Amino acid sequence: MNTRRKFGKLYDRYVEEIYRFIFLKVSTTDIAEDLTSETFRKGWEVFQESPDMKNPRAYLYQIARNLVIDHYRTKKSHLSPEDIELVDDGKNMVDQATVNTEMEKVKTAMENINDTYKDVIILRYLEEMEISEVAKIMDKSEGAIRVLTHRALKTLEEELEKMKDKN
């Protein structure tokens, strides 16, 4: 199989989850689409030189993560609850409203935790990655990822409790 076709298959397989990862970090569709495109453009550049790379998924996440960091460094963008897009997928409106409210609470709580904790939570629980994969993406040991995951969840839980106490 030629390199272009092989990369096309990687694109098809990972584009949605890379987009979701980026969107959860930047929260606007335009920026998420741009950064997703840039992730795959940079991935293609490297893939042409190393078409048999061991873990292309982890590499794409590393690129995406770095692009999000660069975006916030250069743009000084800030996530606000108003930026969250809620989509009606045909569920019962009351159920959908409840889910959206809970998601907004989690998203707001996530704004108040550091970026490393956000990354661990997104990669482990939303993207359902193994600890070894998260470790590779974040360039940390598996033990460090276990500790970060524990701390991140505890911090998120504390933030959610703070929000609950305010209401």
Residues 66, 116: one domain?
Answer: no
Q: What is the CATH number of the domain that holds 52?
A: 1.10.1740
Amino acid 95: pLDDT:
55
- Domain of residue 107 covers 86-167
Q: What is the CATH number of the domain that holds 149?
A: 1.10.10.10
Q: How far apart are CA 118 and CA 96, in angstroms?
A: 24
Is the confidence at residue 79, as pLDDT, over 60? no
CA dist 21 → 41, 59, 116 (Å): 17, 14, 13
Confidence category of residue 50, pLDDT binned at 50, 70, 90: confident
Residues 65, 92: one domain?
Answer: no
Task: Look at residues 36, 56, 84 and tell me which one is the last residue of a structural domain.
Answer: 84
Q: In the chain, how many domains are there?
A: 2
Instruction: Read off the pLDDT of each residue in 146-152 and give the average, rounded to a whole number.
Output: 93
Tens of pLDDT, residue by residue over 124-144, are 887 888 999 999 889 999 999
Is the confidence at residue 80, as pLDDT, over 80? no
Instruction: Read off the pLDDT of each residue in 82-106 and give the average, rounded to a whole number.
Output: 54
Q: How far apart are CA 21 and CA 127, in angstroms?
A: 8
Residues 78, 102: one domain?
Answer: no
Is residue 91 within 8 Å of 75, Cβ to Cβ? no
Question: Residue 8, Cα to own-chain centre: how many angstroms?
Answer: 21
Confidence category of residue 83, pLDDT binned at 50, 70, 90: very low
Is the confidence at residue 14, as pLDDT, over 80? yes
Residues 131, 69: one domain?
Answer: no
**Between 16 and 79, whose confidence is greater?**
16
Phi, psi at residue 80, to the nearest 5°?
Answer: -130, 150
Residues 95, 80: one domain?
Answer: no
Residues 98, 164: one domain?
Answer: yes
Nearest to 25 by CA among 79, 80, 101: 79
Residues 59, 74: one domain?
Answer: yes
How many CB atoms lie under 10 A from the CB of residue 103? 12
Task: Look at residues 56, 84, 112 and tell me which one is the last residue of a structural domain.
Answer: 84
Task: Look at residues 84, 101, 118 and tell me which one is the last residue of a structural domain.
Answer: 84
Residues 18, 60: one domain?
Answer: yes
Is residue 21 within 8 Å of 27, Cβ to Cβ? no
How is residue 127 written in tokens?
């993207």
**In this predicted structure, which of 6-10, 63-67, 76-80 has the lowest mean pLDDT?**
76-80
Is residue 68 within 8 Å of 82, Cβ to Cβ? no
**Between 79 and 68, whose confidence is greater?**
68
